[in-house]
Amino acid sequence: MTVTAIVGASWGDEGKGKMTDALAADAAYVVRFQGGSNAGHTIINEYGKFALHMLPSGVFYPHVTNVIGPGAALDVDMLLKEYDNLAAAGVPAPRLRISDRAQIVLPVHRLLDELEEERLGADGFGSTKRGIAPFYADKYAKLGIQTADLLDGERLLHRLERSITAKNVLFNHLYHCAPIAAANLLPQWLELGQKLRPFLCDTGALLREARMRGDAILLEGQLGALRDPDHGIYPYSTSSSTLAGFAAVGAGIPPYAIERIIAVVKAYSSCVGAGPFPVELNGKEGDELRRRGGDSGEYGALTGRPRRVGWFDAPAIRYGCAIQGATEIALTNLDVLGYLERIPVCTGYELDGKLLDYFPATSRLDRVKPVIETLPGWCCDISSAASFEELPPAAQGYVNYIEKAAGVRIGSISVGPRREQLFATATDQPVRSASRRIP
Ligand code: GDP
């Protein structure tokens, strides 16, 4: 019986998609439990390179059932587009199940997101404009539309009218644009409902039964711990909980079912969008790290925006792992740092002349300065290493530093973007020799 959450320890883009794709080889279910199409998971495997925004990362395995749970924000256009793209790339049709309680992102949510970001101007949140904040606002204001509503025309019209009436006041008086008629949206959404119908079911029941059978379930997080609305860098957070604790809720399984929580940690830091990012590097150093990072530079999988980059941030990762309840770390992008003779790391923050070893609330985080130390670099290509002992001593030292700084065992190490560039460390010890390739 294994239920594993794969979640981000920092600002997102840690490499969760790659980890989920690799671990899905041994899984029966891969579940999206929060977020929508506002971030992308990059996956490189035998079919090519993909950036999945809405589909779970298990779609490349015919034996995996991919689930979109009720906690997610379902962007139907993106879902259908990605589904078709897979077919075009020769990927066998994935098994897909969508919760009949999952709610849909409406075009009106995207429009509101755009208009509001425009209105805020320089004070904006760096929204990806996929409608996520207005979607979750509607959900908690009880104005959302569940997928099951799409199968009942009368009910759907009533729900759309409820949702759109108040927004039209905003369109008219705040944003000064044309109002929307709920009835005009009806035919299109009824048609989309018919397209979704074959995939809809009570996914909570499906997963609870799977768990009772002992099937392996992966819960795939989107973004990272520091974007969580309760524990992260509010208000530069996202609108749904990015934490493993929420995975049980967003998927519909018991909280105690999650036995393994893998916090994905990058060997350096990156951040898309606005908000405090204490280790941010500007200038040449940052440009070089950005150019060398990830599979082809640190650029957003959804927007193509250059990601902000910086060195490894110990207080941020320690905090991120703690709020995720990480039982282990998957360390990614270690290969990227092979160009450095000395590798800077942020060991703490300085605030008003005092040293902080923790990650404070946003109002104080805004003012901290990173305390930087350096560790020896390994100055070579490690992208074909297949075990911990194949890493040069300086790379082993860097891994051991991160394990100690985070306070969580490193269970696997990724040394390149491809599926096979990943190996596990021993399961019961800190990182050491008994390694094996994953999967
Ligand atoms: P996710 O949202 O957490 O899945 O992360 P993204 O896919 O947005 O960003 C992670 C980036 O790192 C992508 O470009 C991946 O292809 C890349 N990547 C993942 N693991 C590694 C690794 O170990 N080394 C390198 N060089 N790139 C990696």
> How confident is the prediction along the chain (439 residues), in pLDDT tens digits per residue?
589 999 999 999 999 999 998 999 999 999 999 999 887 788 888 899 998 999 999 999 999 999 999 999 999 999 999 999 999 999 999 999 999 999 999 999 999 989 988 888 888 777 788 999 999 999 999 999 999 999 999 999 999 999 999 899 999 999 999 999 999 999 999 999 999 999 999 999 999 999 999 999 999 999 999 999 999 999 999 999 999 999 999 999 999 999 999 999 999 999 988 899 999 999 999 999 999 999 889 987 667 788 999 999 999 999 999 999 999 999 999 999 999 999 999 999 999 999 999 999 999 999 999 999 999 999 999 999 999 999 999 999 999 999 999 999 999 999 999 989 999 997 555 554 445 566 5
- Could you tell me if the CB of 336 is within 6 A of ligand 1? yes
On the 0-12 / 13-18 / 19+ scale of CB atoms within 10 A, 215 is: middle
Please tell me which residue in 21, 26, 41, 313 is annotated as part of the active site. Answer: 41
Tokens of 116: 């509001």
- The closest residue, in CA terms, to atom 27 on ligand 1 is 294
Tell me if 229 sits within 8 A of 238, measured CB to CB: yes
13 is known as an active-site residue: yes
158 is known as an active-site residue: no
Atom from ligand 1 closest to the CA of residue 421: 23
Strand (E) positions, 267-405?
269-271, 308-310, 312-313, 328-332, 342-351, 354-356, 369-376
- Could you tell me if the CB of 294 is within 6 A of ligand 1? yes
Tell which one of 14, 16, 42, 415 to mutate to probe ligand 1, the residue whose CB is within 8 A of the most ligand atoms.
42
Distance 24 CA to ligand 1 centre (A): 16
Domains of the chain: 3-73+205-437 (3.90.170.10), 103-197 (1.10.300.10)
Tell me if 17 sits within 8 A of 221, measured CB to CB: no
Tokens of 132: 């996520």
| CA–CA separation, 242 and 80 (whole Å) | 24
Atom from ligand 1 closest to the CA of residue 57: 4
Residues 6+ apart with CB under 8 A from 45: 21, 60, 418, 419
Atom from ligand 1 closest to the CA of residue 223: 2
- The closest residue, in CA terms, to atom 8 on ligand 1 is 13
